[in-house]
Copies of this chain bind each other. A is one copy, B any other.
Amino acid sequence: MVEVVMVDDHVMMRQCLASVVNSFEGFKVIHEANNGKEFIEWLNPDKLPDLVLMDINMPYMNGHETAVWLSTHYPKLKFITITMQNDERSIIRMLRSGTRGYVLKDSEILDFKQALEAVMNKGIYINTVLYKHIIENLHGHQANLETEQSVLSNLNEREIEFLRWLCSDKSYKEIAVEMFLSPRTIDGYRDALFEKLKVTSRIGLVLFAIRNEIVKI
């Protein structure tokens, strides 16, 4: 019997899926958690589950963070991502963090069953549609998103703060006042960001900030 743990903050979804998993022959849900944090606190090294099904978008500790943690601490523990996010960035990120399967919440239950069985047998399940999608975008948009991730990590606290201020109606002069800096310094910050982010206008900075969730809209 494959012992399964469900990690998802959407209780109804989780309960529904749990009952479906229980109806699959050979699978049994032994625990449910609301998020990654709850889950890893529950984890017992002496009695690991066989399979973890988890969402990406969760409070406190999301799917990505949990995946990274699991890959470090229990690299043999299999987990499948079950989510609504079908953008390449999410998928690539999760695959890199060691997920054995990626199932969309808008797929059929049959696909879901196949994913579970595939992962328990061969090891990895990727939906064909998604796979094509990823391959097709690997050299376009995706590259940019991956790059943005690394660019983002090269920004310091002050620059992040500045980016937040940029996403407002304020002029640079006003932002300088808010940040207790001279307008000249602000000028330098802007120019540095133009260089780092490869854009040529404040709009570009704002879009970057929003894409990378530096500001909440």
Contacts and interface: CB of A to CB of B under 8 A. Distances in A.
Interface of A: 9-13, 15-17, 19-20, 84, 103-109, 111-112, 166-169, 171, 199-204, 206-207, 210-211, 217
29 contacts: A9-B106, A10-B84, A10-B104, A10-B106, A11-B107, A12-B17, A12-B103, A12-B104, A12-B105, A12-B109, A13-B16, A13-B105, A13-B106, A15-B109, A16-B16, A16-B19, A16-B20, A19-B19, A84-B84, A167-B203, A167-B207, A169-B199, A169-B201, A171-B201, A203-B203, A206-B207, A207-B217, A210-B210, A211-B217
A160 B16 CA distance: 41
Contacts of A171: 201
Nearest to A18: B16
